[in-house]
Chains A and B, each alone.
Chain A
Amino acid sequence: MSRNLSKPAPDLNAGGIEPGTCFHCAEPLIGDRMLWAQLQGREVPVCCAGCRAAAQLIAQLGLEEFYRFRTASSRTPAPSTTEWQHFDEPRLIQALTRAEGDDRSVMLLIDGLTCAACSWLIGRSLERIDGVSRASVNSATGRASIVWDEGKVALSRLLQVIADLGYRPHVVTPDAVDTQAREEQRAILRRLAVAGLGMMQVMMFAVALYAGDLQGMDANIRTYLRLASMLVATPVMLYGGWPFFVGACKALRMRSITMDVPVSLGLMLAYGASLLNTWRHAGDVYFDSVTMFIFFLTVARHVEIVARHRSNSVTDSLGRTMPQTAHRFDSASPEARLADVMVAELRSDDQLLVRGGEITPADGAILRGITHVDESMLTGEPLPVARGPGDSVAAGTLNLGAPVRLRVTAAGSATVLAHIVALLRRGQAERPRITRAADAMSSRFLGRVLLGALIVCAFWLIVDPSRAFAATLAVLVVACPCAFSLATLVAVASANATLARRGILVTHQDAIEGLAKVTRVVFDKTGTLTLGRVSVTGCETLGAPNEQECRRIAAALEAASEHPIGRAFSADVGTSVPADDVQVCAGAGIEGNVGDRRYRIGTPAFVLGGPAEDRGAIVLGCEQKALASFTVGDTIRPESAEIVGALRARGLGVEILSGDAEGPVRRLARQCGIDEYAARQSPAAKLLRVKGLTGRGEFVAMVGDGINDAPVLGEAGVSIAMSRGSALALASADLILVGDSLRSLPMAMDVAHRAKAIMRQNLLWAAGYNLTAMPLAALGWVPPWLAAIGMSLSSILVVLNSLRLMRGERSRSSVKFPLDIAPVSAVALSGELRS
Chain B
Amino acid sequence: MNIVFVLVPVTLILVSVGLWAFFWAVRCGQFDELDVASWEILVDERTQTPESPSGTLPP
Contact = CB atoms under 8 A, between A and B. Distances in A.
Interface in A44-83: 59-62, 65, 69
Interface residues of B, number: 38
Interface in B19-59: 19, 22-23, 26-27, 29-40, 42-44, 46, 48-52, 55-58
A829 B34 CA distance: 10
Contacts, number: 123
Contact of B19 (A2, A61, A128, A193): A193
A186 B31 contact: yes
B26 to A, nearest CB: 5
Contacts of B19: 193-194, 197
A651 B33 CA distance: 42
A218 interface: yes
A462 interface: no
Contacts of B46: 62
B35 A231 contact: no
A224 B51 contact: no
Interface residues of A, number: 53
Contacts of A823: 31, 34
A343 B11 CA distance: 59
B43 A62 contact: no
Contacts of A2: 48, 50
A218 B2 CA distance: 10
Interface in A214-230: 218, 221, 224-225, 228
Contacts of A65: 43-44
Contacts of B12: 201, 228, 231-232
A460 B19 CA distance: 45
B36 A182 contact: no
B37 A221 contact: no
Interface stretch (A112-120, A437-445, A499-507): A112-120
A61 B51 contact: yes
A828 interface: yes
Contacts of A316: none
A231 B29 CA distance: 29
Contact of B33 (A130, A197, A818, A828): A828
Nearest to B21: A193
B33 A140 contact: yes
B35 to A, nearest CB: 4
Contact of B22 (A120, A190, A824, A828): A190
Contacts of A115: 35
Contacts of A123: 36
B36 A116 contact: yes
A2 B35 CA distance: 30
A511 to B, nearest CB: 23
Contacts of B51: 59-62
B43 A829 contact: no
B37 A826 contact: yes
A221 B8 CA distance: 11
A138 B32 contact: yes
B1 to A, nearest CB: 6
A117 B39 contact: yes
A119 B37 CA distance: 11
B34 A826 contact: yes
Contacts of A120: 36, 40, 43
Given A61-B49, A61-B52, A228-B12, A829 B31 contact: no
A201 B38 CA distance: 30
Interface string A21-60: 0000000000000000000000000000000000000011
Contacts of A225: 4, 8
Contact of A69 (B18, B32, B39): B39
Given A186-B27, A823-B31, A826-B37, A129 B57 contact: yes
Interface of A: 1-3, 59-62, 65, 69, 115-117, 119-120, 123, 125, 128-130, 136, 138-140, 161, 182, 185-186, 189-190, 193-194, 197, 201, 204-205, 218, 221, 224-225, 228, 231-232, 818-820, 823-830
Q: Nearest 10 A-B pairs (CB), nearest first?
A: A62-B49, A116-B35, A827-B37, A826-B34, A116-B36, A828-B33, A193-B22, A139-B35, A829-B36, A826-B37
9 contacts: A61-B49, A119-B33, A130-B56, A186-B26, A186-B32, A193-B23, A824-B34, A827-B30, A830-B29
